[in-house]
Structure 1
Amino acid sequence: MTGSYSLLVADLIGVAVFAASGASAAVAKRLDLFGVAFVGFLAALGGGILRDLVIGAVPPLAFSDWRYAITAVVASLAVFWLHPQLNRLRRTVLLLDAAGLGLFTVTGTLKALDAGVPPVGACLVGMLTGIGGGLARDLVTAEIPAVLQRDIYAVAALGGAVAVTVLSWLDVADPITLAAAAAGVTGVRLLALYRRWSAPVAVP
């Protein structure tokens, strides 16, 4: 299992990535400075808040550790000011969202396991951590949440959470294997977008 410092660094990277994703979506919707920062904050910390409430870690880190909120706001403001230099904004949002999905799924699963949540529950908590921020972002920006559409989103997160749980059970969950798990989630999500893979839907 990774140390607390490595977990913190991975968590803050995930916060910055998801904040940038949320801020990019808000910029695309032409929200003002506060709106961009708010959506970025929700996208970055919504999943973590949900995770902490589920595992009983209150108050959630988003409110008890200033580094999380500051990281989210700074990343959001950076996107607000630098967005003219970002080419193909929609592709940027999708790329950042996929990276955030991978990072948050891994850290969420690890925190659930560290809190003593059984393996199946830890997998669900990891998935919810990964999809929570994107869900909040899409709802606030009036988009149908990606997790509710046919895109391979929650399935990719669940697969990553299972991988982390297995790595932990085998006692081989080190920074390299966990980074590989996060990259795997990100890769599956991006490949699903590129190949237009989707989950089955009911036939009307």
Structure 2
Amino acid sequence: MAFPKGSKTVLIGRNGSGKSTLISLLLQLYQPTGGKITLNGIDISEFVLREYRNMVSVVSQEIYLFNSSIRDNICMYKNIDDKTIMEACKDSGLADFISEVSLDYVVGQNGAMLSGGQKQKIALARALVHNSPVIIFDEATSNTDVYSEHQINGLLHTKLKEKTVIIITHKQEILKEADQIIMLKDGAVVGSGVYDDLSKDNLEFKNIE
């Protein structure tokens, strides 16, 4: 399995197929029991962990937000100018909400004052401002509306065009745009290809989709 630089890869599979496990391995949350994962030919375990993780941004279904302002939750207490923050808010679909409440709006413990969609938009804005070369969307469209799905899909061709993007989703619109779709079952790759080919020839893909 390979994720070429700048590619857009979708991982699909039923619950328990190994999608989240694969993401955890890529993030070095634990180490593989066999084989190795490499980045530009270098085993990822050889990188300084903090530096390695700074190369990856994750937009997850489960998002933790601090009981602080929207600005702090996007910047993660780094010094980022408001122009960059607002550009990320616009790209993530959060700008209209910001115009109502401001960047200083306190979101409550773990975003208690926000909807699920607003929390995910903050997570997306956070990923955009940190400008990591690799972005992982782990079921990140689960709480978004159709408009937001279109917006995320559009980012794949604009702000994220040069990024290596890995997405866990079954959303057909994103599947159609992927450079490759990798099918997982019981922790193993059981198929790969582009949407048009898999949707025609692969019954297992149709059942998963």
TM-score bracket, shorter-length normalisation: under 0.3
Instruction: Pick the structure with greater CA Rg.
Output: 2
Structure with greater helix share of residues = 1
Higher relative contact order (CA 8 A, sep 6+): 2
User: How does the TM-score come out when normalised to structure 2?
Assistant: 0.27
Higher strand share: 2
